[in-house]
Chains A and B, each alone.
Chain A
Amino acid sequence: RKEVEQDPGPFNVPEGATVAFNCTYSNSASQSFFWYRQDCRKEPKLLMSVYSSGNEDGRFTAQLNRASQYISLLIRDSKLSDSATYLCVVNGINTDKLIFGTGTRLQVFP
């Protein structure tokens, strides 16, 4: 089983739609969780950290369920510029190492 699993997509949605991505992780001891965004042939960029209480940043909402080892990202009012691959990222105990999911590709169309 992969350490971080994501549905690869692609998710094709119209502008203005709401879309949700899910991610599961295998190590129950993982401590920090993130969503990164990666554009084609570019480096990943941090979108947001994910906290146990859930957190929101504008149109983006992240949720963490430790019991189910599940992380989600909700994007409201999708924009064309949201088209990218969204990477679920986890790190472990006492380490800076990041473990990346394979990413979920989002394509927003007009």
Chain B
Amino acid sequence: GAVVSQHPSRVICKSGTSVKIECRSLDFQATTMFWYRQFPKQSLMLMATSNEGSKATYEQGVEKDKFLINHASLTLSTLTVTSAHPEDSSFYICSASQTDTQYFGPGTRLTVL
């Protein structure tokens, strides 16, 4: 199957700092990528749909000014968590679509102290 990478895999930061997470489709081009968040023992929740060359579409309740998404190329989308707080600590996962299947990155575990 297609390969999607994420970087970093794990990050620990202080409250108030910003954290950037990268999502790359390694062997295919993706005009659409998705960003999810998963809290312990909960399901993946879609945060936003990242569209190459245009603004991201955010799900209800997700603050677009706090979770900045940039999809500058067909293989790269970035999620920046601005002014992170402990409640933003979570597992962030991206995915990219190829034909009818979504392929997931390995996830980024964010811990905000």
Contacts and interface: CB of A to CB of B under 8 A. Distances in A.
Contact of A32 (B43, B49, B100): B100
Contacts of B107: 41-43
Contact of B43 (A46, A96, A100): A100
A57 to B, nearest CB: 14
Interface in B36-86: 41-46, 49
Nearest to B103: A46
Contacts of B95: 98
A44 B104 contact: yes
A1 interface: no
Interface residues of B, number: 23
A45 B44 CA distance: 13
Interface of A is mostly: strand
A98 B109 CA distance: 21
A46 B101 contact: yes
Interface of chain B: mostly helix, strand, loop or mixed:
strand
B39 to A, nearest CB: 11
B107 to A, nearest CB: 5
A43 B106 contact: yes
Nearest to A97: B46
Contacts of A4: 43
B60 to A, nearest CB: 12
A36 to B, nearest CB: 8
Interface of B: 1, 32, 34, 41-46, 49, 91, 93, 95, 97, 100-107, 109
Interface of A: 4, 32, 41-46, 49, 87, 96-103
Given A43-B105, A101-B43, 17 more contacts: A4-B43, A41-B107, A41-B109, A42-B106, A44-B44, A44-B93, A44-B104, A46-B102, A49-B100, A87-B43, A87-B44, A96-B32, A96-B49, A99-B46, A100-B43, A100-B45, A103-B43
